[in-house]
Amino acid sequence: MLAGVRGLSLCLLSLGVSLTLFILSVVSIALTVLGVGLFTTPAVTHLVRMHANQRRYLARDWAGITVQSSYRPLPAADGVGATVRRCTTLLRDPATWRDLVWLLTDAVFGFVTALFPAAFLAYGAEGFVIFAGVWRAVQHHYWYAFIPVEGFGTAFLCACLGSVLLLLAAWLNPYFIQGHFHLVRAMISPSRDALEQRVERLYETRHDAVDSSAAELRRIERDLHDGAQARLVAMGMSLGTIEALVEKDPAQAKRLIAQARENSAEALTELRDLVRGIHPPVLAERGLGDAARALALRMQIPVEADVDLDGRFPEPVESAAYFAVSEVLTNAAKHARADGVWLDIHYSADAGGMLRIAVTDDGRGGADFGKGSGLAGVERRLGQLDGILAVSSPPGGPTMVTMEIPCEPVRRR
């Protein structure tokens, strides 16, 4: 019964929504020649991807089938030029054309596979309807499958056949639903080339993660050697001198004790700063949302923070997001000559869960995205978590940095 209800729902999505979106997509893409499609295609494609992501969710929830997605990151749509680039990026994305072909296939074959469960149940129930008395009105004029309805006896056979069909439906209908979603996976899953590129990117980000960890370890060792360790060594030498002077020259010993106390306080401050640079306490205690708000309050320029997070996320995700936001805000304060910054952080449960961060400033633009820049470091950090970074920074501004990290909450509020 449940498979039949799900089949009817999929019929509405396949014949109604998929066919409508296919027609809208074809018309919108055709209108790009006239320029109108440059503005309508991104909106229609967004609806198509929402529809495809909903089917991915249903495939995982109803049939236990995982359907991967591989949409390319889009530039921010700020101004006419950015809108044109956004449309061009969409039309160059193979996933856009896979979705388009899937819409037409889903409206035909997807509809048929989804219709079978409900049709099976309805046809099985029809045998009982005939046996309940309808046979009197249709006898000598109606066949139920291979049984001619000619009287009470044949009506009873119809009920028996209906029972068999209902039992078959209970056994076969889940397979029809799985077949529907297998068709979805075959049509909109990334191609082999896309998967190979993804594997290659993950291979590169793994090496980046190893290199970053090694570089971070060297930085910590250097900071300890040049800072806290040097002060602790000086403290030890001062204590040795104090031990020798405590009876001969008490006044000098007191001065050295005061100096050692200052050195210990400075060493403790440096150790705290070092630990805060590795993992800020507010991030560990309060989570990404409060840590980002605290970061915004410490900036030299006004930062308007809009944070909507319902819970905590895995520690690597929160750490990567925090330091990415810190780097982008610092760039805005140091290089953009901005008067204001807008920080938006929210979580979307679509397509398996996505943490989205947008940082916009009204500065001079022209952000450097070169290999050695801070933004390139942010991209490497996000890449270790399969995240993406998109930057829109035309000369004259404004600059918009968008970051996305796939993840799921580990604890909700």
For 89-128, the pLDDT digits (tens) are 888 888 899 999 999 999 999 999 999 898 888 888 888 8
Span 134-142, average pLDDT: 78
Residue 22 has pLDDT above 90, yes or no: yes
Measured between alpha carbons, how far is 43 from 30 in angstroms, rounded to an integer?
15
DSSP H or E run through 402: strand 399-406
Question: Using 50, 70 and 90 to split pLDDT, how confident is the model at 222?
Answer: low
Co-location of 254 and 381 in the same domain? no
Co-location of 50 and 109 in the same domain? yes
Which phi-psi region, left, alpha or beta, contains residue 35 (left: φ > 0; alpha: ψ -120 to 50)? left
Co-location of 199 and 183 in the same domain? no
Co-location of 208 and 179 in the same domain? no
Measured between alpha carbons, how far is 42 from 28 in angstroms, rounded to an integer?
9
Lowest mean pLDDT among 161-170, 287-296, 327-336: 327-336
Co-location of 227 and 293 in the same domain? no
Residue pair 228/207 in contact (Cβ under 8 Å)? The answer is no
Residue span of the structural domain in which 40 resides: 2-188
Co-location of 200 and 294 in the same domain? no
413 in a structural domain: no
Question: Using 50, 70 and 90 to split pLDDT, how confident is the model at 218?
Answer: low
Question: How far from the centroid of its chain's Cα atoms is residue 82's Cα?
Answer: 23
Measured between alpha carbons, how far is 264 from 270 in angstroms, rounded to an integer?
10
Domain count of the fold of the chain: 3
Q: What pLDDT, on the 0 to 100 scale, is given for residue 182?
A: 92
